[in-house]
Amino acid sequence: MSEKQLVLVLGMHRSGTSLVTSLIEANGFSCGKYPMKPSKDNPNGYWEDELIVGINEKLLSSLGLYWFSLVWLELSTLKQSPIYEELRESARNYLHELLSENNKVVIKDPRMCILLPFWLDVFSAIDSEIKIVLVKRNFFSTASSLVKRDKFDYEYVSQLIYLHWASIVRFLPQSYARLLIQYEDVRQNEIEVRQSLMAFCGVSSLVENALFQSELEHHAVTSTNNCGFCWQQKMLLDFPDAEVDETRIRSLRSFYHALNVAYFRPLHREYVINEIKNIADRCKGKRVILYGASELASVLVGQLSESIVLAVDYAASESLIVNRYGLVFNPPGAIADTDHDVILVGVTGRKEEVMDCLCQYSSKPIIFAEELLLEN
């Protein structure tokens, strides 16, 4: 086993990764040679290395992405970057340099969650024991902090958090030793958390006083049932002890693209809004059944509220009530008992699967909102 130790702190933005990294640094770990300066968002500091962050930003930028982009990044996708090899060598060389100056190094940047395949490629050439500290904060608290700081809405943030957490679950090797730290546990018993970190990192020192408890941001713990797709709820509640359905994630690619365009390109945002209004106009005066309790469906509800005679979702059943966006979503079987003129599908991907389901109960026209929204 190598005498050198590299600890990677992984967690979503606004979830306490800076706090946990600072506790690890206090035990003799180097956070790098170019510390990021504090700001009003993190007055105590970020405990991030600007060179590491710069590598992450350059990799994302080279693919036309931002830290807040809704995207699923596999290694094959990341390697499409024209500067992938250059950045990988820069990262390897810098980590070699850090570990030659200090046998114990900790690195942290929430961007590493969605760029994990890249960093695992970097680590494959590093002669060091790799340890992972996962930081989790209550989903709604993390979401509330992001909404407050970055002016996102909760539905967008739910997808952002899901993708960060799903990347960790899917790509992080089981062979790496890992420790899960709950942000709320630091609030309740910081000294005990610090002792757990020291034991995990194999260091010992005297822990006398809590440093941060009175300064930590707090949001009341709230259910996540109103955010994210129904099938994402287990992940949003149970991370990291949950499975990842990559097929479903890939099926959202065009939906994520539409959201990214709508959120961060104002001229395109107007286009998307107009297209949604056009979809509503096509259904005007018709009895509409809305299929899918999705985020795409949520933007249709406001335009079609007077036309919707029934809302259905595959996940709904007699024992599971799905109540979202002011509508109660029924099982698909309810379609057969409801007079209607058209079915408007508000989910993305899985067209064949959705058609097979709906055709069991209706012979009326089926319109896929995704196709209308992205047809141009």
Q: Tens digit of pLDDT for each residue in 119-136?
A: 999 999 999 999 999 999
pLDDT exceeds 50 at position 222: no
On the question of pLDDT at 200 being above 70, the answer is: yes
Residue 77 has pLDDT above 90, yes or no: yes
> Where is pLDDT greater, at 210 or 292?
292
Structure tokens at 191: 């000294």
Q: Range with the lowest mean pLDDT among 99-113, 195-209, 303-317?
A: 195-209
Nearest-angstrom CA–CA distance, 111 and 3: 28
Question: How confident is the model over 253-274, as a mean pLDDT?
Answer: 65
Is domain 253-374 annotated with CATH 3.40.50? yes
Q: What pLDDT score was predicted for residue 205?
A: 65
Residue 294 reports pLDDT greater than 80: no
226 Cβ partners below 8 Å, 6+ apart?
154, 324
Question: Tokens for 214?
Answer: 């009175």
For 345, phi then psi, to 5°, come to -95, 120
Range in 66-75, 160-169, 210-219 with the lowest mean pLDDT: 210-219
> What SS3 class is residue 8?
strand
- pLDDT bin (cut points 50, 70, 90) of residue 376 is very low
What is the pairing mode between strands 342-345 and 288-291? Answer: parallel
Q: Which tokens is 370 given?
A: 């995704």
- Which position has the higher pLDDT, 246 or 317? 246
Closest CA to 24 of 133, 137, 102: 133
Read off the pLDDT of residues 224-260 as tens digits, 9 standing for 90 and up.
446 777 788 888 889 999 889 898 898 888 778 777 7
Mean of pLDDT values over 325-331: 84
pLDDT at 224 (0 to 100): 47
**Dist. CA 84–CA 369, nearest whole Å:** 36
Angle 319-322-326 from CA coordinates, rounded to 5° = 145
- CA gyration radius for the chain? 23
pLDDT given for residue 48 in this prediction:
92
Tokens 């130790």: give the residue: 5
Q: Which pLDDT value is given to residue 374?
A: 59
Between 304 and 212, where is the model more confident?
304
8 pLDDT exceeds 90? yes
**Cα–Cα distance between 198 and 180 in angstroms, integer?**
13
Residue 348 has pLDDT above 90, yes or no: no
Q: Mean pLDDT across the stretch 46-74? A: 92
Given a contact cutoff of 8 angstroms between Cβ atoms, the answer to whether 315 and 230 are in contact is yes
Q: Of 262 and 71, which is predicted with more confidence?
A: 71
So where are the chain's domains? 5-249, 253-374
Same fold, 5-249 and 253-374: yes
* pLDDT at residue 113 greater than cutoff 50: yes
- Residue 189 banded pLDDT, cuts 50, 70, 90: confident
What does the pLDDT read at residue 226? 61
CA angle 349–353–359, rounded 5-degree value: 120
Tell me the fold of 5-249.
Rossmann fold (3.40.50)
Under 8 Å between Cβ of 8 and 132: yes
Q: Mind giving me the DSSP string for 303-371?
A: HHTTTEEEEE-TT--SS--EEETTEEEEPGGGGGGS--SEEEE-S-S-HHHHHHHHTTT--S-EEEHHH
Does 268 score more than 80 pLDDT?
A: no
Which of 272, 271, 337, 261 has the alpha carbon at shortest distance from 300? 272
- Please determine, for residue 186, whether its predicted confidence score (pLDDT) is greater than 90: no
**Can you spell out the DSSP letters for 185-247?**
HHHHHHHHHHHHHHHHHT------S-SSGGG---------TTSS-GGGHHHHHHTTSS---HH
Euclidean distance between CA atoms 252 and 156, whole angstroms: 13
**Residue-wise burial string across 77-109, b where 16 or more C-beta atoms lie within 10 A, e elsewhere:** ebeebeebeebbebbbebbeebbeeebbbbbbb
Query: What is the biggest distance separating any 2 CA atoms in the chain, rounded to whole angstroms?
Result: 73
pLDDT score for 267: 47
pLDDT for residue 215: 53
Token pair of 333 as six digits: 């079987």
